[in-house]
Structure 1
């Protein structure tokens, strides 16, 4: 079976216990990252094989990179932080995997990475139409490749933001500070990962925690004891008694 035996087989990685070197290895060997990289290379190869116009290919790649932050912002704010998916047994496990678990333990690398069954359809649904409209099949392939490789970049930056490591570059230190505030001060703002333009535009950006109200639901995303009593599926999957307080998940040292 593909990826049946990898450095991830049967083990967990926690960013607060890792060095930058260890993170680089775990990142490079994670199956989803390898899939994105392979599909990115395949998209570039297809674009070259189909021989699209260079200007159209460049425009498709640039458009994808520009649209990506907006797509991430909308998904992160209204889907991942939305309070709809956990209310139905059919989608409770999906919401648990794609975001609840990450806020429960922000250092668990296994749930920091997006799930392929959600990320791949999203990337393709966004990028293929952009590329096709700009320059046909070759540009569509290039746009998809740009989406895959941009996802690799976003995922690595996201890892760095949770690693006990001080980046040398000021912009990386800055976005790390904003993202950690999203996890440990208030989840109601700073939805970007590498780009906070849309947060600024829509009024959800805060540079300093003291300027933004602290949230009591930063670790449970609003899935409180009362909500878990009404909608028990995520609680049951998480080993939490429905109706009890939903706090930050602990783990053995």
Structure 2
């Protein structure tokens, strides 16, 4: 789905406010002291995001018919403002928060959801950078761009991680430049 600039970039403005609110809720409820449990949960949420990003990109965007078509639009026109509507991520994050709160507590739910959202914001920024920003030749973002462009151009599916290629290494879906993956050779 093509977006206006406002709707495409809205999450970059809304989600930091939500993370700040979850952090302030935890700090205020604890007498203005940040709990290590919240920070640890946030770190776990951010790490969980990298796996979620990989799995959604690999199995949802490349396999589920309606979303595969939407993602195909992105592959066909990578610089266009194509993406899922914001309500999709809102539903995912609210559901995640509710499940964690049900099985743990509000502190862990707030921290882990904040980490997940920060991971998602990182993904949004990196993905925007690899397609639209002017990047210096030796920057980390340029290495992300090169890895992601191989995902777009290679006929063999791979390089599903945008922020990190870690899970591509774990699951054997790394596309090395100019070579097929060893298991596909």
Taking structure 1 as the reference length, the TM-score comes to: 0.61
Alpha-carbon distance in 2 for matches of 1:158, 1:189 = 16
1:107 is the counterpart of 2:107: no
1:32 is the counterpart of 2:11: yes
Cα deviations by residue, 1:84-133 (Å, 9 ceiling, x for unpaired): x32xxxxx3x5544x2321121110x21x542122222234445545775
Alpha-carbon distance in 2 for matches of 1:168, 1:129 = 43
1:79 is the counterpart of 2:60: yes
Report which of the two has the higher share of helix.
2
Ranked by relative contact order (alpha carbons within 8 Å, sequence separation 6 or more), the top structure is 2
- The residue aligned with 1:243 is none
SS of 1:167's equivalent in the other structure is coil
**Higher gyration radius (CA):** 1
Contact 2:38 2:108 in 1 (8 A): yes
Give ranges in structure 2 of 5+ residues lacking alignment: none
| 1:3-152 aligned within 5 A | 30-51=9-30, 54-82=35-63, 85-86=64-65, 92=66, 95-97=68-70, 99-108=71-80, 110-111=81-82, 113-126=83-96, 129-130=99-100, 136-152=105-121
Give ranges in structure 1 of 5+ residues lacking alignment: 1-10, 14-25, 87-91, 214-253
Taking structure 2 as the reference length, the TM-score comes to: 0.80
Alpha-carbon distance in 2 for matches of 1:137, 1:205 = 38
Contact 1:128 1:144 in 2 (8 A): no
- The residue aligned with 2:179 is 211
Deviation, structure 1 residue 53:
6.8
RMSD value, Cα = 2.8
